[in-house]
Amino acid sequence: MNAPLALLKMRFLTGLQYRAAAAAGVLTQFFFGLILIMVYLAFYKYGGAAQPMTLEEVVAYIWLQQIFFTLVMLWYSDFELFELITGGGIAYELCRPWRLYTVWYAKLLAARLSACALRCLPIAGVVLFLPEPYRLAPPASPDALLLFIAALLLGLLLVIAISMFVYLSVFWTMSPVGSILLIAVAGEFFAGMVIPVPLMPGWMQQAANLLPFRWTVDFPFRVYTGHIGAQEAIAGIGAQLVWLAVLVAAGQWLMKRALRRVVVQGG
Amino acid sequence: MRLFFQYMSILFKAQMQYRASFLMLCIGQFFVPFAVFAGMYFLFERFGGLPGWTFHEAALCYGVVHMAFSVAECFARGFDSFSRLVVRGDFDRLLVRPRGTVVQVLGSNMEFTRFGRMLQSAVVLGIAISGLSIQWTPAKAITLFLMIAGGVIVFCGICILRASFCFWTVQGLEVMNIFTDGGREMAQYPLDIYAKWVTRFFTFIIPFGAVSYLPLLYILDRTDGPDLMYMAMPLASLLFLAPCLLVWCIGVRHYRSTGS
């Protein structure tokens, strides 16, 4: 088995050990989901006529966001990678005969997958059977479900490619704070983590469409509810692939630049 | 009390040694809750309002809760990161000193970068107040102050409670995030938009309702009943703090060093 795959498996199994943290996560996501839905219920009661998304679609959007939270959130940080760079451990990584980008990518992917594996089923199991209006509706159609799974997985690959830039920037700044924090916050907003993209004002939706972030959260969840039809979804998956190719290539190029002049810290 | 201020000035001086990093973090803290506020603003713009509430009224609620949260996060940071003291066995050192444990834990850590967050809440409060036509009286100003102070006490109470559990579990309990972060997210909207059980729980068990929603009604002249009752509501936070401190004291007596 080649190195990145073996690492992926190992990390995944390690991640599965953190069950207490996962239990806490499940409760937290569940609580946040309920609170958010109540807020939207109140908003829809006041001015719900003729909105770009129906209440059921928003409810489904919120629950999917909670269920797959660890997959889609931009800021799921792996402090080990930061320490590798700021602590000098990077020297060992460079000695090993592998491509650093692929290996880090596999590590980040495994951490997210294992966290999600522990969390998604308990939340999904409950929210599919809640009383109305809190219930998560099943997907719009079997096609929508298949497209949703494809879009979600591509979104996951995309979000890791984006978050890789945060790790890479540490090569230059030595601390993952400040300006990066700002980019992360803006990214989450444009991804639709705070409010769904269709509920934003027009000019902001246009900005969101130009950026890669919305393909990670907003797009897959709206495919699930059928808010984005099959035709458009297939085109969207194409866009995801293009973004993924661009961002991975840019990340690899940047990493090469970073490693050319890497300073091994510490001792 | 004097000891507390001494701790404060030492920690402040220590953190000011890394001035650039301090400023960057402050700016970051200013913008992080900004996304949440922007989300709230856009929802109001899209839907026009909440049943019984306009944007500026809700923003007042948001400002009070976030201000209280950031002050509590700044000064009660010691309780927030308390599990580290227990894990390393450093709490033993605190016990041998002839001073109270509460003030020493408070003094063990403070996070002054939360100033950025406070500033953001202050801006929101300013927006809310300038957008509302309230007839300000001294009584209302005092109520507003009490609301923020009460909120700080409630958040501190939760932090102390969470820290107290470390005496039994050693590790921090992440579930308590529901009450700190979750409580903040929940209380930033007026409480009456939620389902009954949520409102009751967060009024009678953890009194967020008593420090934000009920006195807010008084400031907006929507009370029925004696005004003094609404004004004094934030004092209920003290009733919440008392059992938290009690649990803390029981915990301290239970403490067995982890040492290393």
Q: How confident is the model at residue B259, as a pLDDT? A: 59
- Minimum distance, in Å, between the CA of residue A223 and any CA atom of chain B: 22
- List the single residue in B31, B51, B177 with the smallest CB-CB distance to A182: B31
Per-residue confidence at A111, pLDDT binned at 50, 70, 90?
A: confident
Residue B75 at interface with chain A, using a CB cutoff of 8 Å: no
Q: How confident is the model at residue A221, as a pLDDT? A: 92
Of A247 and B234, more confident: A247
Q: B24 and A179: CB-CB below 8 Å?
A: yes
Report for A82-91, A118-127, A258-267, B172-181: range of highest mean pLDDT: A118-127
Q: A177 and B175: CB-CB below 8 Å?
A: no
Structural domain contains residue B221: yes
Q: How confident is the model at residue A64, as a pLDDT? A: 92
What's the burial of A143, exposed, middle or buried (CB within 10 Å: 0-12/13-18/19+)?
Answer: middle
> Which contacts of B198-201 are long-range, i.e. CB under 8 A and separated by 24 or more positions?
B198/A34, B198/A35, B198/A38
How far are the Cα atoms of A155, B36, B219 from residue A200, in angstroms, in the given order? 21, 13, 31
How does pLDDT run across A20-50, given as a tens digit for each residue?
A: 778 888 888 889 999 999 999 999 888 867 7
Selected for mutation to probe chain A from B26, B34, B42, B202 (highest A CB count within 10 Å) is B42
Residue B186 at interface with chain A, using a CB cutoff of 8 Å: yes
Task: Tell me which chain A residue has its CA closest to the CA of residue B179.
Answer: A28
Interface confidence, given as ipTM, is 0.85
Domain count for chain B, please give it: 1
- Minimum distance, in Å, between the CA of residue A252 and any CA atom of chain B: 28
Of A81 and A244, more confident: A244
Measured between beta carbons, the chain A residues lying within 8 angstroms of B189 are: 39, 42
DSSP for B106-160 reads HHH---GGGHHHHHHHHHHHHHHHHHS-----HHHHHHHHHHHHHHHHHHHHHHH
Q: How confident is the model at residue B234, as a pLDDT? A: 86
Report for A46-55, B75-84, B137-146: range of highest mean pLDDT: B137-146
CA distance B92 to A186: 43
How far are the Cα atoms of A29, B10, B52, B117, B191 from residue B209, in angstroms, in the given order? 22, 36, 16, 22, 6
- Minimum distance, in Å, between the CA of residue A23 and any CA atom of chain B: 8
Of A26 and A262, more confident: A26
Per-residue confidence at B148, pLDDT binned at 50, 70, 90?
A: very high
What is the domain range of residue B68?
Answer: 2-254
Structural domain contains residue B260: no
Measured between beta carbons, the chain B residues lying within 8 angstroms of A27 are: 175, 178
Residue B238 at interface with chain A, using a CB cutoff of 8 Å: no
Structural domain contains residue B259: no
Whether residue B32 is predicted with pLDDT greater than 90 in this model: the reply is no
Measured between beta carbons, the chain A residues lying within 8 angstroms of B19 are: none
Of A217 and A175, more confident: A217
Q: How confident is the model at residue A19, as a pLDDT? A: 78
Q: B43 and A48: CB-CB below 8 Å?
A: no
How does pLDDT run across B212-256, given as a tens digit for each residue?
A: 888 888 888 887 778 788 888 888 889 999 999 999 999 888 887
Whether residue B131 is predicted with pLDDT greater than 70 in this model: the reply is yes
How does pLDDT run across A157-208, given as a tens digit for each residue?
A: 999 998 888 888 877 776 656 667 777 788 888 988 889 998 888 898 999 9
